Every structure is written in structure tokens, then in C-alpha cells.
Amino acid sequence: MIDTKLNGPLPAKPSRWPFYLFLLGLFAIVLISAIYIGANPITFIQNSDNMVDLFVRMFPPAWSYIATTTPAMLETIRMALLGTTIGMIFSIPIMFLCARNIFRLRWLVELSRIGLNILRTIPDLLLAAIFAAILGFSPLAGIVALSIFSIGIIAKLSFEAIENIDNGPLESMTAVGANKLQWIAFGVVPQILPHFVSYVLYTFEINIRAAAILGLVGAGGIGVFYDRALGFFAYDQVLALILYTLVVVIIIDLISLKIREKLL
């Protein structure tokens, strides 16, 4: 056994209390939150037979429902496609306004950024619910909602890409005396185009997922069938819908990924 008596003084031991208090505070917040919403594990356990029942009744999935819902699935894809496209078009001016290295007008840039950040706080489904109220229960409401939602993603990612571009081509454009539009077209666009297209495709992937549920608030697409099947407690149809959506999402993801890989 080694003698453990120290010859020198022990360094001051930092107090662990702040850390413990922080953990305690965090735990208290979680606990209060759980109590506030009545999250009771016992309720969950007592109702677990509901869950088992739900699972059991999901099988076998009602494959025939896939044929029934295919028109709605196609509508979902159409909505995502058009929503992404319209969002893309509107994103173009917005992303240039938000990038700090394009326009000198500081207040305009900051204002655009604040506007974009506010836009990004509103979830897709809320937008859809509002537009369903305005435009009526139609896929158009979904398309408009997705368009606005897409701007938030595409413009955000793109303006960040613009801010990261290489300055060299810009300087040479300035050197040859280009005006602002020429400067953007020849100095900026070629550099960000592949990124931009990639972000649009990425947004399309997200929009397919989003479009699949917009029907729940009456904004078109396959979502309305979830409501219907659940209303009838037809869980086998619900599972068919889930699997159908899953497969479509995966296929579109794969195609999009392939194109994106080619681009970058």
C-alpha cells in the first residue's frame, strides 16, 4: 500500500453545488411540465390494453385501401411539387435580400431576416388550417401553405450559402464594371446554383411528408383518409396508409438524393 499522505497543499476543490442545483432545476421544470399536462404514467399503463388492441387490429394491413387512396396520394405529390415550386420562386428575391454580402442597405437586410425568422416560426399545419379557412377545403389551401412553408426553408438555407461564397468572382465582376443584376447573375448565381437546387429538392422531401398530413385540417391530399380511417377505428386501414406513405416518401427521398448527389 502506497502512502497517500500529500506533501503539498491540496488545490481548492470547485464546488459542485451550482451543477447539482442546475440539474435539480431542470428536473423540476420537467416534472412541473408533466404534471401541468396531466402526463400520468399510470394512465398510460392502465390504457396499455388499448394500445395492444390498436396494434393487434392494425394487422393485417388493409392493402385494398391503397388502391382507394391512390388518387389522394397523387394529389399529395402534386401539392408538394407545386408548393415547393412556388416557394422556390418567391425564395429567390428573399434570399438575396437576406444575405449580408449582396446589398449595402443594412436596415433592409436585417428587416428581411427578421421577417424570414418570423415566417419560420409558423408550422406548416397551422398555415394549412388558416388557408383552409380562407380558401375552403381544397388542395389549393395546402399548396399555398406549403409554398409559404417552403420559403422559410429554401430562403434560409440559400442565403446562408450566399454568405459563404467565394469573393473572387464578385470582385472581378465589380472590376469589369458590372451593374448589380449582372453582378448577381455572373458572380453569385453560378456559385450557388447547385446548392440552391439541392435545397429545393431537400425541401421537396420535407414537403411530401408535410403534404401527407395537411388533409387533417382540410387542406387536401391523403391526410383526410387518416381522419376517416381513425374515425371508423379501421386501424388496418391506418397501417396501410402509414406504410403507403412510408414507401412513397422513401422512393422520393431516394430519387431526390440521387439527383442531389449528381449536383454537388
Partner 1 sequence: MIELNDVSKVYSNGVKGLEDVNLKINKGEFVSIVGLSGAGKSTLLRSINRLIDISSGDIKINEKSITSASEKQLRLIRRDIGMIFQSFNLVKRSSVLRNVLSGRVAYNNTLRTLLNLFPQKDVDLALKALERVNILDKAYTRSSELSGGQQQRVSIARTLAQEAKIILADEPTASLDPVTTKQVMDDLKKINTEDDVTVIINLHFVDLAKEYSTRIIGLQAGKVVFDGTPEEATPEVFEEIYGRSLKEDELLGEENL
Partner 2 sequence: MSQRDQLKKARARKRGKIAIILIGLIAIYVWAISGIEFRGIQETAGPVTKNILKGFISPDWSYVYSPDGEDLIRGLLETLAIAIAGIFLSIILAVPVGLWAAKNLSKSFITSQSGKGVLSFFRTLPDIILALLFIKVVGPGAFAGMLALGIGAMGMLGKLYAEEVEAMDPGPVESIAAVGGNKLQQLAFGVIPQVLPGFISATLYRFEINMRSAATLGLIGAGGVGTALIFAIQGRSWDRVGIILIGIVVVVLIVDLLSSALRKKIT
**Residues near partner 2 (CB under 8 A):** 29-30, 32-34, 36-40, 43-44, 47-48, 50-51, 54, 74-75, 77-79, 81-82, 85, 117-118, 121-126, 129-130, 133-140, 143, 209, 212-213, 216-217, 226-227, 230, 233, 238, 242, 245-246, 249-250
The grid coordinates listed for 189 are 448565381
Minimum CB separation of residue 8 from partner 1 in Å reads 6
The closest of 220, 247, 89, 234 to 145, measured between CA atoms, is 220
Using alpha carbons, list the distances in angstroms from residue 154 to 66, 177, 179, 197, 231.
32, 30, 26, 9, 36
Footprint (CB under 8 A) of partner 1, residues 2-21: 2-8, 10-14
How far apart are the C-alpha atoms of 258 and 264, rounded to whole Å? Answer: 10
Determine the interface stretch with partner 1 among 1-9, 54-62, 160-168, 196-204 (rule: CB under 8 A).
1-9
The grid coordinates listed for 116 are 424570414
Q: Based on CB atoms, which residue is closest to partner 2, 145 or 170?
A: 145
Q: Based on CB atoms, which residue is closest to partner 1, 12 or 181?
A: 12
250: partner contacted, choices partner 2, partner 1, none (Cβ within 5-8 A by kind): partner 2
Question: Under DSSP, is residue 82 helix (H, G, I), strand (E, B) or coil?
Answer: helix
Q: Is 14 left (phi over 0), alpha (psi -120 to 50) or beta?
A: beta
Minimum CB separation of residue 13 from partner 2 in Å reads 19
136: partner contacted, choices partner 2, partner 1, none (Cβ within 5-8 A by kind): partner 2
The grid coordinates listed for 220 are 387536401
State the sign of the Cα–Cα–Cα–Cα dihedral 195, 112, 91, 189: negative
Residue 264 sits in the site that holds partner 1 (CB under 8 A)? no
Q: What are phi and psi of 262, to 5 degrees?
A: -65, -35
- Tell me, what amino acid is at 3? D
121: partner contacted, choices partner 2, partner 1, none (Cβ within 5-8 A by kind): partner 2
Minimum CB separation of residue 64 from partner 1 in Å reads 50
